[in-house]
Amino acid sequence: MKIAVTGAAGQIGSRLCEDLARDSEVVRIDVRGDADPVDVLDLERLTRAVAGCETVVHLAGKVAVKASWEDTHENLIGTYNAFEAARRAACKRVIFASSNHAVGMYEVDGAPQIYEPGSGVLLRPEVPIRPDGLYGVWKTFGESLGRYYCDEYGLKVACLRIGAVRKDDTPEPKDYSQEATWLKLTDDQKRKRMRAVWMSQRDLARLVRAIAASDVPFGIVYGVGDNATRFWDLEAGRALYGFWPLDGVK
């Protein structure tokens, strides 16, 4: 399989590309580090870059929960370009890296009790969208755009509402001062939050692989580990793609 990954040099993209390259041809698309970089804001070059790929994994974008409109606007354009380039190049599917922030206001309302065992909160993918910032608005835009490209053009689309996939691949960072800065939490509450929302890098790669091997027309699933205090439902991933995480915090 030939797979294109935008944002290939990023925190998630770099490790994902390494995993996928074990048995697939991976086209790494990023504005940094390549002799001939492809910017996702350039539709024509992006279309040429994904030509011949079966799957496009769209990770690229400026990441900040409280993003400015300027950054959000670029992310919107880049996401449109990813779907349109996949359509023009006759790719089979797009896997869109959405985010838990598409429904982040549920967490804002429920914190910090939502991180406790038996909180009673388990959000399914079909709950009404409630972004907690313009970053989340971008992600809901991508999900809606994916639904349109699926229905209008027959493109297979999967939207992954990713929790916390960390560079150090641990739910227990040494320093919590820079974690979840958009929420008013103590360090202990941040620790509990990370244990609820963490997903391992290998499980994210396994989820991408499961989707790439499927023929499901459209799906929205949560990218989170099998954590005892998670507040996002994993059943859609199992029902649609036969996926269940191997890793989790008990």
Please identify every residue annotated as catalytic: 135
The owner of tokens 């990954």 is 5
β-bridge partners, 164: 198
Is the backbone of residue 76 left (phi > 0), alpha (psi -120 to 50) or beta?
alpha
Rg (alpha carbons) of the chain, rounded to whole number = 17
Strand 93-99 vs strand 55-58: parallel, antiparallel, or unpaired?
parallel
Phi, psi for 148 (deg, rounded to 5) = -65, -45
Helices (H), the chain: 11-20, 43-50, 69-88, 104-110, 134-153, 187-197, 201-212, 235-241
239 contact partners, CB below 8 Å, separation of at least 6: none
- In sequence order, which ranges of 51-186 are alpha helices (DSSP H)? 69-88, 104-110, 134-153
